[in-house]
């Protein structure tokens, strides 16, 4: 493509996608595979980690309980798996409380 605006946009989009990807844990990186644009990646991550439903909350709590019972994992596997579940639960609870964006003002208590 010879359109200079498109080429500039693609370079910027690749930088944004790389920035997002660098913030992901190894377990979550699978979600980034095959995404073409930063918007595509962001949409997939938002869909997978910001679902707000009681079923999603129950699923994550069940994963935590099951994960605690598995005794065939190494310590690193155990901690990485637990961190992934915790990150998903944290994202869910933040979105449920309307705090999806970290710079949103919080009420004083």
pLDDT in tens, 55-89: 777 777 788 787 777 778 788 888 888 888 788 77
pLDDT of res. 69:
77
Could you give the CA distance from residue 10 to residue 55 in angstroms, rounded to a whole number?
38
Share of the chain above pLDDT 70, in %: 79
Q: Does the pLDDT value for residue 15 go beyond 90?
A: yes
Please check whether residue 27 is in contact with residue 81, taking contact to mean a CB–CB distance below 8 angstroms: yes
Q: Is 28 helix (H, G, I), strand (E, B) or coil?
A: coil
Question: What pTM was estimated for this model as a whole?
Answer: 0.48
For the residues 35-55, what does the mean pLDDT come to?
Answer: 79
Q: Does the pLDDT value for residue 39 go beyond 80?
A: yes
């Amino acid at each position: 493509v010879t359109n200079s605006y498109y080429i500039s946009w693609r370079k910027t989009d690749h930088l944004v996608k790389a920035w997002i990807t660098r913030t992901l844990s190894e377990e979550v990186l699978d979600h980034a595979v095959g995404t073409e644009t930063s918007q595509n990646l962001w949409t997939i991550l938002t869909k997978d980690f910001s679902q707000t439903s009681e079923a999603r909350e129950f699923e994550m709590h069940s994963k935590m309980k099951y994960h605690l019972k598995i005794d065939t994992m190494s310590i690193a596997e155990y901690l990485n798996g637990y961190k992934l579940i915790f990150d998903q639960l944290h994202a869910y609870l933040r979105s449920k409380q309307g705090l999806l964006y970290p710079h949103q003002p919080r009420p004083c208590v």
